Structure 1
């Protein structure tokens, strides 16, 4: 009943975020940009200006017989020299035009090209460069949003960028997941800024709103991590995400074990009870602190040991996982996790996947 009502509510929404123009989403969806220093930006602008200038010079020079210098010369029909063409292109592109005072000697024209025009270009950059960049930033971001929405597929949506969300993202990046394949949904401005600084695509809004999840392209995501601070929010986000994407892997965190069955009923593939997990580690630390250390080592993919998954090699098929050189913890068969001591995995199959302990050097 609850899922049916939610489905009807989703279908009844006519005007939503996903139907808005890309330019209207700039304040909601943020695509990370590579930092470019101001000096390099000015240098690029100077190069572009020089390219345009010499293109104009070439055009004028190729058609130099069509231009005439109005000065008194022994032969007015003589074609323009290259310097004349350079001078003409320079004063034309810089909008100087022609006045009652014009350089007539080659030295004066050379000074105009080498000194006056660069100063004029620098003045234009200082005067309008910032304004033009401000006006084009929104259009550039809107174009990036349009391209991103068309191409993003099989990514991971992380709902919440608090301590749990940041740690989850760090673990994925440490396990060779590209930051471009991670989208963070968050409503807290400070958390959003941290996610942007980490080079992640961000969506500002409440993840309980289905349109915010649509904007994060949850319907095309490979997996969804629900790291909300509130258990009720986690349940509603999980239910909404499952309605949008029936095939995604949804990993949801809950503070108390009482909410674990609600997450399962809402469509969570895997649940993590944070309070009980932390409590178990605290209890273990009183008697066997080294166990806690090795657990932290296994959960840190970029240092020491880590738990990884790989397919069964053709040479390993038919054998027991306990006889492999890798330390195998479990076998995933047809979507079901079996422990290594389960008699059903005494003979490995080619379609199985192994959960094993991997060292940093094996990456």
Structure 2
């Protein structure tokens, strides 16, 4: 039987655990040891400055032990004064010394305490700030892109979608390696440490509110499990996955993936094409590499193109997307272009082509 309050305590423990596993991008700061060393040096400088101020006006101070104040007494007085200990054995007796205490030594005491206590306060408030950032991030996250796996394929996929206008704060990377997530946050992406085959890990990435999911894991069986879990949590998101073996592609489609890229086969076909025709292989590699040379893009049909045939458009059209069908440029079923069609075209890469409204780059192998 659970005691009253146990559920609330359990929820708080879960929230703290999630806060440690979800990492948001942050600006680069100095190393903790360097920060502490710098603050200690500043505090020491304040202590030395206070001691010399007292020693310079030593005639205005009285020592109960021997009435005179030397340099050691000045350092002793500065130490007990800045630390607010205040034994009272050395006191300012002249008006000038008391004015200096009010206008100079008291502000130095406050500065000294801020420097020493500030480090402790920063540590205590860091967790609160992080939880506040996490809650704010969750509430504002909508229609984002979840990337499972941040290896070579995952990084290339993120760079491609970001080149078409997706902001870095709309990307969430999921990976079991903490070092990989640190690399992702260094690039400005939010990261979740954990196994993406588990639903609780994907929920931390807010996959249920995602617009598209990219699965770029190292193993095909892991990709299948991730696709199953992601599709169960989000019925409408577009899921694109990469597999190594072509025989696993149908299984991944059955698991809920909308598009499957066979990385090993695609690389092999590119190698073979480069052997048969180096120039053709060079063109294909240029199409795969986004942002330079030629790019393959998808765009809507504009009003001026409605009623035209494919060859009558200004762009080099490769295929026409009509409904759920992808028709080749020479398919007789196309007839004339309709307003609801989308065109897959080859364009010259430039900043202007990347900012075309509603343009989506096709996933590449």
Q: What TM-score, normalized by structure 2, do the two folds share?
A: 0.73
Cα distance in structure 2, aligned partners of 1:305 and 1:247: 32
Aligned CA RMSD, in angstroms, stands at: 3.2
Structure-2 residue corresponding to 1:30: 23
- Note closer, same or farther for the CA distance 1:332–1:110 as it changes in structure 2 (3 Å cut): farther
Q: Secondary structure at the match of 1:251?
A: strand
1:224 aligns with 2:213: yes
1:155 aligned residue (144, 150, 155):
144
Q: Is the 8 A contact 2:26 2:186 kept in 1?
A: no
Alignment correspondent of 1:133: 122
Give the one of 332, 336, 344 matched to 2:333: 344
Q: What is the CA distance between 1:229 and its match in structure 2?
A: 0.7
1:316–1:234 distance in 2 versus 1, CA, 3 Å: same
Deviation of 1:198 after TM superposition, in Å, equals 1.0
- Structure 1 gaps, min length 5: 1-13, 43-93
> Counterpart of 2:164?
175
1:283 aligns with 272
Cα distance between partner residues in 1 of 2:302 and 2:345: 13
Note closer, same or farther for the CA distance 1:108–1:333 as it changes in structure 2 (3 Å cut).
farther
| C-alpha distance in structure 1 between counterparts of 2:146 and 2:21, whole Å | 15
1:211 aligns with 2:204: no
- Quick one: structure 1 residues 206 and 323, their matched pair in 2 at CA, closer, same or farther if it must change by over 3 Å? same
CA distance in 2, matches of 1:104, 1:148: 59
Distance 1:19 1:271 in 2: 39
> SS of 1:346's equivalent?
coil
The 1:256–1:121 alpha-carbon spacing in structure 2 relative to 1, beyond 3 Å, is same
CA separation of 1:282/1:124 partners in 2, compared to 1, >3 Å: closer, same or farther?
same
Q: Deviations over 1:309-329 (max 9, x none)?
A: 221111111112221111111
Change (3 A) 1:107 1:337: farther
TM-superposed deviation, 1:269? 0.2
TM-score, length basis structure 1: 0.73
Q: Which residue of 2 aligns with 1:198?
A: 187
| Aligned-partner SS, 1:338 | strand
Q: 1:123 offset after TM fit, Å?
A: 2.0
Q: Which ranges of structure 2 fall in alignment gaps of 5 or more residues?
A: 1-6, 37-82, 355-365
What's the CA shift string for 1:73-95, capped at 9, x where partnerless? xxxxxxxxxxxxxxxxxxxxx98
SS of match in other structure, 2:303:
coil
Report if aligned partners of 2:26, 2:185 keep a CA contact under 8 Å in 1. no
Summarize deviations over 1:256-314 as a string: whole Å, max 9, x none. Answer: 01111100111110001111000001111112222222222222222222222221111
1:295/1:109 CA distance change after superposition, 3 Å? farther
**Contact 2:300–2:343 (Cα < 8 Å) also in 1:** yes
Which of these residues, 322, 339, 360, is aligned with residue 350 of structure 2?
Answer: 360
1:165 positional shift? 0.9
Tell me, yes or no, if structure 1 residue 246 matches structure 2 residue 246.
Answer: no
**2:131 aligned residue:** 142
Structure 1 distance, partners of 2:325, 2:111, is: 66
Answer yes or no: is the 8 Å Cα contact 1:160–1:185 preserved in 2: yes
